[in-house]
Amino acid sequence: MLPGSRIFGVETEFGCLVRSDESRPESAVELIKDYVFDELKLGLLDLSARDEVFEPAESGGFLINGGRLYVDAVGSHLEYATAECQTLKDLIANDRAGQRLIVRAVEEMGLGEDISIYSNAVDHFGGHTFGCHENYLVEMEEDFFAIKAPLLYPFLVTRQLYAGVGRVGGHQLVGGMGPTLSEIEQNPVDYIWVSQVYSAIPDQTVEYQLSQRADHILKTIAGRVRFNRALINPKWEHFYAHDGKHRLHLLFGEQNQSEYAYALKVGTTHLMLRLLEDGQLSRRFSLANPIRALRDISRDPSYRWRVVLGDGDIVSALDLQNEFLQICDRRYRDTSEETNWILDEWASTLHSLATDPMSLDDRLDWVAKKKIVEMSMEDMGVDWTCDSLHSIDLEYHNIDPEKSLFHAWKEMKGMRSIVSELEVLDAATDPPQNTRAKGRSLAIQEIMKRRMPRGYVVDWNGVLFDRTIYLDMPDPFDTYTD
């Protein structure tokens, strides 16, 4: 394992729109999940519950590409978790492959006209928000979340300058508006372990902002996140731990359609985690109020992006990002080809954000979406108060390339790509070749060959064969192909 090597993966929660009066999103996502496993035979369903409440038996399973597709009982939404990856190209190819599998299932079932799946982060009308959670294997001690994690807040709050997916309008969070007894009875799982409940109402003061989720983040760090969403959700799960490293679970992330923005987001975060592990982050970058800064940056139409530091100084979010870039460049330049790409593109993007943000419409989601919306406004002769703009915002995130406004813009503008369509196609069945996802994939395929429908258990860190033989896979860097 080379210095600076890291395992990362991303979990994406999908929105589902059903146009037929005879169907519901909850049944639609079950159909999609069952088709992938039962008809396409691309993986193994869990035969036992991973969680009796949130992931009961047969709510999902592991795929032969190393990823995991399942229906989360909270909100009954479809979710895809990538395989463990060591490179940005593997991560993006595996992530996009998951989307293509979902699109394929919808089309082959003949439901393309009735069902649309979206990789976005907000329901403009219902006020709900969906997650895109990043996971990084990080060196951790017991005091990590109290002492070290706060050093990341300034970076996580300001990286939306290039990682934000853009949003028409905004939400205000208000308390005391639910849930009603009827709502609890209809969806009891949604309210388990909930200590507070809020509702979201439209904020008419906001026309457009960088982030879809900034309005919904309440804490810097929190465990119970259903109605208490945070930047970081502390996890100590054994299956994502090895040799003093544990899972850092970032909740404040968004579903980048742009592969470039996706790679830059994960790549810069990876380098910042190296700084954290190397003891190179200090409290001089601390923000006075990280959550307020998060919203202020997202909502600033002037693009000056000012934030208040803990000592009272007012600086630009771009200044902070440039500080982080310079420290990473001095320490990690030439450690790998991928690292140099991250550093070069980080610098180029920050320069363009400082001089002409709108020139980044071939790279950044929030810029591309804003231009698409503005073109539509001009064609329709409407202003920012028009509700139809929310539909344009939504269709930017349609995962079907034939319907997606992002893909239409990509063809017209030439959005920068990180992987080819052939690499995405290969990643639908081929796992990353340098992590334990490869060994797990081989084990799944062997079980499928042996036709052992009741004699297996598959998890991230191990596979049980024939109820008696257990293949232990604790090290995510090992392929376990032997």
Catalytic residue set:
72
> Quick one: the chain helix, strand, coil %, rounded to 5?
40, 20, 40
User: What number of helices (H) and strands (E) belong to the chain?
Assistant: 14, 20
Answer for the pair 212, 295: CB distance below 8 angstroms, yes or no. no
Residues near 61 by beta carbon (within 8 Å), at least 6 away in sequence: 37, 43, 44, 45, 46, 68, 69, 70, 458
Strand partners, 200: 173
Phi, psi of 39 (to 5 degrees): -100, -50
> 323 to each of 239, 285, 330, how far by Cα in Å?
35, 9, 11
Q: What is the 3-state secondary structure (H, E, C) of 405-425?
A: HHHHHHHHHHCCCCCCHHHHH
Beta-strand pair 60-63/68-72: antiparallel
> In terms of Cα–Cα distance, which of 465, 440, 462 is closest to 453?
465
Spacing of C-alpha 467 from chain mean position: 34
Spacing of C-alpha 312 from chain mean position: 33
CB atoms within 10 A of CB 221: 16
How many angstroms separate the CA atoms of 361 and 166, rounded?
12
Which amino acid, 55? E
Angle, vertex CA 291, rays to CA 287 and CA 294, nearest 5: 85
